[in-house]
Homo-oligomer: A and B are copies of this chain.
């Protein structure tokens, strides 16, 4: 029995679906082995809490499949989803006693969980692991800053289009969706309208209206409430105002390149 468990553990990483996209990628054989030794699989059904806001000590985990939402709440009930985690993403805030957000399974989720103490010890022992997590965190920060621009400056329709675009980019790698033809994408929304509105800083009704509007304009098609078909990704991108970064600013206040 002990023997079987060992074999199972040893093979876990080699057969792991997210092995080469998660923070485990680019780790040395030793590091993978150390991580594997403390890892534990866990399945969390949709809607179940994974991590409480302000909860003492974080939890660390790779998302193997499914979608996890991270929410922050104002104490009059207003809330916002500050992030969505998909397969291969990493959950957990290192070096902090209190977890700053609330993590919940948006769909059924498979996790590869690492105990807090053990993980932080490995982080200290293996600079390679910390380096990888640092890079992941930088990417997360980039995404967060990009999302701030959406919340601060985009109109409701652009926000909804941006959201669908983001989902279209991340979900198709998963079992529940598929790319059919070039530029045509088909997927199942992992979130309800209420959750989408919490991502976008809008109300349920506004999200619903904008989805209807995009449908009427032919930018998207609704197979059913949760299932969406995008005939032409470029048109959605246009609606999202997902334009590449450009020169500094149109009328920057005396912005001169600073040489010295």
Question: In the complex, are the beta carbons of A145 and B82 less than 8 A apart?
Answer: yes
What's the nearest-Cβ distance from chain B to residue A165, in Å? Answer: 15
Q: Which of A30-38, A42-50, A206-214, A225-233 contacts B (4 or more CB under 8 A)?
A: A42-50
Within 8 Å of chain B (Cβ to Cβ): is A127? yes
Q: Which residues of B contact A82 (CB under 8 A)?
A: 145, 148-149
Copies in the complex: 2
Give the distance in Å from the alpha carbon of A146 to the alpha carbon of B144 in the complex.
10
Identify the closest chain B residue to A241 (Cβ).
B74
Question: In the complex, are the beta carbons of B153 and A148 less than 8 A apart?
Answer: no
Size of A's binding interface in residues, CB under 8 A = 72
Asked, given contacts A74-B153, A127-B127, A149-B72, whether A48 binds B201 with beta carbons under 8 Å apart, the answer is no
- What would 25 A/B residue contacts be, using CB atoms closer than 8 Å? A48-B254, A48-B255, A49-B252, A49-B255, A49-B256, A49-B257, A49-B258, A72-B146, A72-B149, A73-B250, A74-B243, A75-B243, A79-B153, A82-B148, A105-B258, A130-B131, A133-B134, A137-B137, A137-B141, A141-B144, A144-B144, A144-B148, A148-B148, A152-B198, A152-B201
List chain A positions with a Cβ less than 8 A from chain B: 42, 44, 47-50, 52-54, 71-80, 82-83, 93-96, 100-102, 104-105, 127, 130-131, 133-135, 137-138, 140-142, 144-149, 151-154, 198, 200-201, 241, 243-258, 260
